Amino acid sequence: MCYAIPGQVKSFDGKFVLVDYFGEQKKAINELSALKVGDYVYAQGGFVITKVSQSEALQTLETWKDLFFELKDIDDRSVKDMPWAGAKFAKVRDMFDCVSADGKISLQDLQYLLSSKDAGEREFIRNAANQSRHKYHGNSCCVHGIIEIGNVCDQVCHYCGISRLNTSLTRYRMSKEEILESVRVAVEDYGFKALVLQSGEDADRPIIELVDIVTEIKKRFGVLIFVSFGEVGREGLEQLYTAGARGLLLRFESSNPNIYQELHPGSNLDDRLKDLRYANELGYLIITGSLVGLPGQTAEDISRDIQLAGELNVEMLSMGPFLPHPHTPLAHNLPPTKEAVVQVLAAARFYLPSHVKILVTTGLETLNAEARELAFRSGANSMMLNVTPQEKKLLYEIYPDRAHQNESLAVQIDSAKNLLQSLGRAPTDLSFR
């Protein structure tokens, strides 16, 4: 299965190229030196990542030709057939009209959306968010792969099962060769075009080693690389960017400094935000967000989380449920409901700039197996599949019984593909900015 559709370069405009997909044209940043008009490329996250031969491109496009339009049709019809609210829910309808006219709703409006308790109004909010997703993103859906390269972590985040507080966990650190082989499998055998490399904050794996790994991946594979190694500081971010990383996954977890402090002894929110702001300045695509359902968290806190993600120039919002792990200080706290988390995603779709992608986290699927589909019908349009080798994946236990933890990559892909096809979503990925 291919995770992106090849497009043909139509023109150049400074560092940008215009890429054509069956008549639809999108802009992407080009960093390849020998690219010319007429070439075929794969692009991800708004970057051209690799050139592809004309024969390979035409073969792939042939298989996509009918499917591309069939999927669009399914998505168009699903939005048209959505139950709408008639004259009801005027306040939400006004917000929707504002967003549809490219306006911005206020923080108070966002809090209203997050606090709605009326089942009919909540359904209307979800449907309206789906309309916005359809208007601004069409039926495209990011499908990134994630490789969990090590579960050693020096931090003690109170919600996390791989924090150093969990002394019962077997720890691992994948070697460079193991990582490169996982990347090869993901890119060459399964067609992934964007990969996230993730680990805990591991002082025994110095930045220079991570830089070496990113450099080697960049040299060998045409893939967009996101890094997620916790706080690596300005120098670390610069080195990883120079090596070829173009995305950063770093959640701030809570915008409320008191909650943050409580859950992250020895760390502070400002340091984390400094990393995120500097990464944005460097040109990283930012994936960030927070946990929903933390002890003491209010709707106002969540609205500020969404606001902060916007201020950080988020490219893809990652907000997932708090899930208790038995070997953490929060073991006895309850998770939120799937409806509460999906409402957050739908409200975020109203508030954040229209180009922002919204991720369905594995945490949400772990909370409830049907939540992935509900989230996709409520404004979300991205997912990640776990491409970590099976025996390592089971040890990356940030919370217990993670969704898909016993599934092979092939099974995960099949289930993602079936879901996307039933919803009329195409796994294409280009920035709409």
Given 128, 160, 187, 348, the residue binding ligand SF4 (CB under 6 A): 160
Of 92-100, 151-159, 326-334, 424-432: span binding ligand SF4 (CB under 6 A): 151-159
- Decide: is 157 part of the binding site for ligand SF4 (CB under 6 A): yes
Of 157-165, 211-219, 235-243, 311-319: span binding ligand SF4 (CB under 6 A): 157-165
* 8 Å CB contact between 25 and 19: yes
> CB under 8 Å to 186, separation ≥6 — which residues?
145, 147, 192, 195, 223, 387, 409
* 8 Å CB contact between 289 and 315: no
Of 153-161, 205-213, 325-333, 402-410: span binding ligand SF4 (CB under 6 A): 153-161
Which structure tokens are listed for 395? Answer: 């040890």
Given 200, 320, 363, 427, the residue binding ligand SF4 (CB under 6 A): 200
* 8 Å CB contact between 263 and 306: no
* 8 Å CB contact between 229 and 259: no
Of 36-44, 128-136, 160-168, 216-224: span binding ligand SF4 (CB under 6 A): 160-168
Nearer to ligand SF4, 179 or 420 (CB): 179
Nearer to ligand SF4, 265 or 296 (CB): 265
- Decide: is 201 part of the binding site for ligand SF4 (CB under 6 A): yes
Q: How far is the CB of 179 from ligand SF4 (least distance, A)?
A: 17
Q: Name the one residue in this structure whose structure tokens are 């075009």.
A: 193
Q: How far is the CB of 300 from ligand SF4 (least distance, A)?
A: 24
The footprint of ligand SF4 on residues 283-312 (CB under 6 A) is: none
* 8 Å CB contact between 86 and 107: no
Number of residues that bind ligand SF4 (CB under 6 A): 9
Given 57, 162, 249, 250, the residue binding ligand SF4 (CB under 6 A): 162
Write the interaction track for ligand SF4 spanning residues 217-256; mark x where CB under 6 A is met and - where it is not: -------------x--------------------------
- Decide: is 362 part of the binding site for ligand SF4 (CB under 6 A): no
Distances (CA, A) of 319 to 15, 126, 363, 380: 32, 16, 9, 11
Q: How far is the CB of 104 from ligand SF4 (least distance, A)?
A: 31
Q: How far is the CB of 45 from ligand SF4 (least distance, A)?
A: 23
Burial tier of 11 (Cβ tally within 10 Å: 0-12, 13-18, 19+): exposed
Q: Can you list the pairs that 272-277 forms with residues at least 24 positions away whose Cβ atoms lie under 8 Å?
A: 272/231, 273/308, 273/312, 274/234, 275/231, 275/232, 275/233, 275/234, 275/237, 275/248, 275/250, 276/248, 276/250, 276/252, 276/312, 277/312
Nearer to ligand SF4, 230 or 335 (CB): 230
Residue type, 107: L
Q: How far is the CB of 200 from ligand SF4 (least distance, A)?
A: 4
Nearer to ligand SF4, 157 or 359 (CB): 157
Nearer to ligand SF4, 50 or 198 (CB): 198
Given 140, 163, 288, 290, the residue binding ligand SF4 (CB under 6 A): 163
User: Which of 303, 298, 295 lies closest to 324, judged by CA?
Assistant: 295
Q: What is the CA radius of gyration of the chain?
A: 21
- Decide: is 424 part of the binding site for ligand SF4 (CB under 6 A): no
> d(Cα 184, Cα 49) in Å, to the nearest integer?
15
Consecutive H or E run containing 344: helix 338-351
Which structure tokens are listed for 273? Answer: 């935000």
By CB under 6 A, name the binding residues for ligand SF4. Answer: 153, 155, 157, 160, 162-163, 200-201, 230
